[in-house]
Chain A
Amino acid sequence: MVNDVAVIGFAQSPSVPVTDGTTNGVEMLVPVFERALAQAGLPKSDVGFWCSGSSDYLAGRAFSFVAAVDAIGAFPPIHESHIEGDAAWALYEAWLKLRTGEADTALVYGFGKSSAGELRRVLALQTDPYTVAPLWPDAVSLAALQARLGLDAGLWSERDMAEVAARSRADATTNPLAQLSGKVDVEELLGTEYVADPLRVHDCAPVTDGAAAVVLAAGDRARELVGRPAWISGIAHRVESGSLGVRDLTTSVSTTASAEAAGGVDGVEVAELHAPFTHQELLLRQALGLGSSVRINPSGGVLTGNPMFAAGLVRIGEAAGRVFDGSAGRVLAHATSGPLLQHNLVCVLEGAR
């Protein structure tokens, strides 16, 4: 018998193009911890396990997560761990800890200061170091290849992509923490210049600095702390080959497999998808088999604010928020990592348990 685990609190920093804070996220994290713990009704001293996700390469120095621990005030010593990657995977590690009963509450956080370097170039270093990275294939150009493959296969059009951007920005008008929002005209978007054919500025997530935290609790502890926990009914992730030439870039078999392992998408009312490019939202909807009745990214999604290494965790927090406020009973969150949706995580959350 293992514990049921629920999301009981969530907070994020404003998604901003540049923060004055340090690359270790401390300045952004302190207020985020405060708000997430307040929502969960959990004193900081009661957190049983801490886990974070971040990237030293983004920070431009080794061990950036070590200084982030300063934001916690970790004395007396804490039970803590760190994932090099998006904090959605840190949440996965925390979920394991709570299931085993080693802890009954956890705080998971992620942070990234993309403005410290040149993001699209830094991400080239995620590719094979011996044969690909030396060519410096920047992240936007790689995404453009994927978008082109889908266009040529008739899977989506440039208009479909622009419509995703317009809907995302319109949705973000109700999200005060979004970096981009507002009413935009699809025709106008289609009249703008390409940045990497067939991608235009609106097709690409903005470069964002930000941080986020999610509070988890197990079983009765979750019920004690909040009125309506968002129970994790399934969570799973799968990775695909790092060699871009050996996988079908117009679909995402790892997302499909993750969703299946997480219990499927039946009855999902809202989905928060981690799609840094407009065509990737279309691709993910197809891979997940989400019908037209499913509300996609009511927060505006990462196209309106993309805090690297926190953005996947934000999807889980945003989806849980729809359960907290009673607007949905079953929701799905998706996180991605690596070039062109290489590594995908699906988390299904429910109000009743």
Chain B
Amino acid sequence: MKQPAAVLGTGQTHHRSKRLDVSMGGLCREAIDRALADAEVDWSDIDAVVLGKAPDLFEGVMMPELALADALGATGKPLLRVHTAGSVGGSTALVAASLVQAGVHRRVLAVAFEKQSESNAMWALSIGIPFSMPVHAGAGGYFAPHIRSYIRRSGAPEHVGAMVAVKDRRNGALNQYAHLRQSDITLESVQASAMLWDPVRYDETCPSSDGACAMVIGDASTAGGRNAAWIHATAMRTEPTMFAGRDHVNPQAGRDAAAALWKEAGITDPAAEVDAAEIYVPFSWFEPMWLENLGFADVGDGWKMTEAGDTAIGGRLPVNPSGGVLSSNPIGASGMLRFAEAAMQVMGRAGDHQVDGARTALGHAYGGGSQFFAMWVVRSTKP
């Protein structure tokens, strides 16, 4: 019953810590204009717009899509606003895909953004509800114990996190849009950087970025014979933040989502059948953790893939050839960037960070306390 749907074009902004040269509308338009051009379509070809971003308190605007309707080209059209925490960029792409897959629209524009410089994300994340733990240590403080637990359970050597940081930042240097482009970063320099939340060092954390991402998703009639990224499988799963027995290191929701995803895509051996993966890695240690959660490696073995260089461009499974979240993190857009970068890989339009011969790619996003997951598999061939 699902109609085939494909990414026809992608666009993103140059990501920076402060984009003082544009408003929120201008930021979104920078990504949208590139996506429309990449898809070779104009405003009149767009039937509906789906906007995603993380909490409104990040910019201090209530439901900004309302004020942005004109800038998004949504006036007179349907406009949906998605918010699923850090996974939102991915969820937004999936809702946009659903509009096409459900046969409601032919071409949909998906947009995600975060303009973190308009407000203070750390503040927005630190307003607790009564009766909850007053941690107030930001995302790093929340995830550091999970990372420590992963290291203890897997026996991973301590340098694996630094290796991920070196790889992703050097990949980021190949990506003209990345916020951090550090071609000269080394294992030693990462290990010499300040310890923020043991065992997470400064160079192993994501930056705080202003940025946006946009995609045009269309049906078979609009894709025609174009070079497109066909959506072969999608999955979303949620579990609660806290309950006794929850595995914060390897959450069930992520495992369930991955299992459903591989099944729908007809993939039985993900490590062998996926050519490139854009995985949401805001802290370096999440690469080996998610490799296991996604089923690319057995439990306890994710770090071995990283250490062996399998996840580098040219390796067995290139992970985050774009530089990933460690190189650019406009939170609401970060998930969509993973989905768009996966599409760019299979369309052969990833520029200097193109993985040779990529035909099947994964886009992955997670959010909240590792409890919201959104993923897709795209291929260069029609399902």
Nearest residue (CB) in A for B86 is: A63
Q: In chain A, what residue has the closest Cβ to B237?
A: A77
User: What separation, in Å, do the CA atoms of A138 and B104 have in the docked complex?
Assistant: 36
- A67's nearest neighbour on chain B, judged by CB, is B129
B255 to chain A, nearest CB (A): 9
Contact flags (1/0) for A69-88 with B, using CB distance below 8 Å?
A: 11011111111111111000
Q: Kindly state the separation between the CA atoms of A235 and B289 in the bound complex, as whole angstroms.
A: 42
In the complex, which residues of chain B have a beta carbon less than 8 angstroms from the beta carbon of A67?
A: 129, 132, 241
Tell me which of B66, B84, B132, B241 contacts A339 (CB under 8 A).
B66
Q: Which of A173-181, A239-247, A321-329 contacts B (4 or more CB under 8 A)?
A: A239-247
Contacts A62-B57, A76-B256; is A96 near B98 (CB within 8 Å)? yes
Are A70 and B240 closer than 8 Å at their CB atoms? yes
Closest chain-A Cβ to B43's Cβ sits at a distance in Å of: 14
When chains A and B are docked, how far (Å) is the Cα of A344 from the Cα of B61? Answer: 20
Instruction: Say whether, besides A56-B56, A96-B98, A129 and B64 are in contact (CB < 8 Å).
Output: yes
Residues of A within 8 A of B251 (CB): 77
Is B124's CB within 8 Å of the partner chain A? yes
Across-interface contacts of A123 in B (CB, < 8 A) = 62
Tell me, rounded to whole Å, the shortest Cβ–Cβ distance linking B244 to chain A. Answer: 11
Q: Which of B57, B64, B125, B239 contacts A75 (CB 8 A)?
A: B239
Which residues 61-113 of B sit at the A interface, judged by CB distance below 8 A?
61-64, 66-70, 74-85, 91, 95, 98-99, 101-104
Contact B78 A338 (CB under 8 A): no
Structural contact, A241 and B1, CB atoms closer than 8 A: no
Residues on A with beta carbons closer than 8 Å to the beta carbon of B61: 125, 129, 133
Interchain CB contact under 8 A, A342 and B69: yes
Taken together as a complex, chains A and B put the C-alpha atoms of A227 and B24 apart, in Å, by: 49
Using Cβ atoms and an 8 Å threshold, which residues of chain A touch B56? Answer: 55-57, 62, 84
Is B81 touching A89 in the complex (CB atoms < 8 A)?
yes
A23: Cβ under 8 A from any B Cβ: yes
CB of A197 within 8 Å of the partner chain: no
Asked if B171 CB lies within 8 Å of chain A CBs, one says: no
Does the CB pair B67–A127 fall under 8 Å?
Answer: yes
Binds B, one of A37-45, A97-105, A148-156, A284-292: A97-105
Query: Is A77 a contact partner of B95 (Cβ separation < 8 A)?
Result: no
Closest residue on chain B to residue A127 by CB atoms: B67
Chain A residues with a Cβ closer than 8 Å to the other chain, count: 70
Asked if A100 and B69 make an inter-chain contact with CB atoms under 8 angstroms apart, the answer reads no
Give the contacts of B337-362 with A (CB-CB under 8 A).
Answer: none
* B85/A63 in contact, CB under 8 A: yes
List B contacts of A55 (CB < 8 A): 56, 62-63
How many Å from the CB of B264 to the closest CB on chain A? 9
**How many residues of chain B have a CB within 8 Å of chain A?**
66
CB < 8 Å: which of A61, A80, A84, A239 contacts B78? A239
Tell yes or no: B212 within 8 A of A by CB.
Answer: no
Nearest residue, chain A, Cβ from B264:
A102
| CB-based nearest A residue for B243 | A75
* Residue contact B63 to A84, C-beta cutoff 8 Å: yes
| A83 touching B83, Cβ below 8 Å | yes
Taking the complex as formed, is A182 at the interface, i.e. its CB lies under 8 A from any CB of chain B?
Answer: no
Most-contacted residue by chain A among B54, B60, B130, B238 (CB, 10 A): B238
Cβ of B310 within 8 Å of any chain A Cβ, yes or no, is no
**Contact call B63/A85, Cβ cutoff below 8 A:** yes
Interface string of A24-57 (1 = CB under 8 A from B): 1000000000000000000000000010000111
Return chain A residues, CB-CB under 8 Å to B24. 129
A:96-130 near B, CB below 8 Å: 96-97, 99-102, 122-123, 125-130
| Closest A residue by C-beta to B104 | A96
**Chain A residues within an 8 Å CB radius of B77:** 238-239
Within 8 A of A (CB), among B232-266: 234, 236-241, 243, 246, 251-253, 256-257
Q: Give bound CA distance, A100 to B98, whole Å.
A: 7
Known contacts: A69-B240, A75-B239, A240-B75. The answer to whether A102 contacts B2 by CB under 8 A is: yes
Cα–Cα distance between A24 and B127 once the two chains are bound (Å) = 13
Q: With A and B bound together, what is the CA distance between A92 and B24 in angstroms? A: 26
Say yes or no: is A297 at the interface (Cβ < 8 Å to chain B): no
Interface centre among B59, B60, B80, B124 (most CB of A within 10 A): B80
Q: Is the CB of A126 within 8 A of B1?
A: no
In the complex, whether B55 has a CB less than 8 A from a CB of chain A is yes
Q: Which of A66, A74, A241 has the most CB of B within 10 A?
A: A66
On whether the beta carbons of B368 and A239 are closer than 8 Å, the reply is no
Question: How far, in angstroms, from A253 to B77 measured CA to CA in the complex?
Answer: 11
With A57-B57, A93-B95 in contact, is A66–B76 under 8 Å at CB? no
CB contacts (< 8 Å) of B280 on chain A: these are none
- Complex Cα–Cα for A128 and B60 (A): 11
CB-CB under 8 A from B371, the residues of chain A are 66, 69
Closest-by-CB residue of B relative to A218 is B1
Q: What's the minimum C-beta distance from B372 to chain A, rounded to whole angstroms?
A: 8
What residue in chain B is nearest A253 (Cβ atoms)? B76
* A257 sits at the interface (CB 8 A): yes
Contact pick for A62, options B99, B102, B125, CB 8 Å:
B125
- Most B CB within 10 A of own CB, among A2, A62, A79: A62
A to B CB contacts below 8 Å, 8 in the list = A57-B56, A93-B95, A96-B101, A99-B1, A129-B24, A133-B61, A238-B78, A339-B66
Instruction: Mark B residues whose CB is within 8 Å of A.
Output: 1-3, 23-24, 54-64, 66-70, 74-85, 91, 95, 98-99, 101-104, 118, 124-125, 127-130, 132, 234, 236-241, 243, 246, 251-253, 256-257, 368, 371-372
Given contacts A79-B238, A80-B372, 13 further A-B contacts (CB under 8 A): A62-B125, A63-B125, A66-B368, A77-B239, A81-B236, A82-B84, A83-B82, A83-B83, A122-B62, A239-B74, A243-B70, A337-B66, A343-B69
Closest 3 CB pairs of A and B: A62-B55, A101-B1, A77-B253
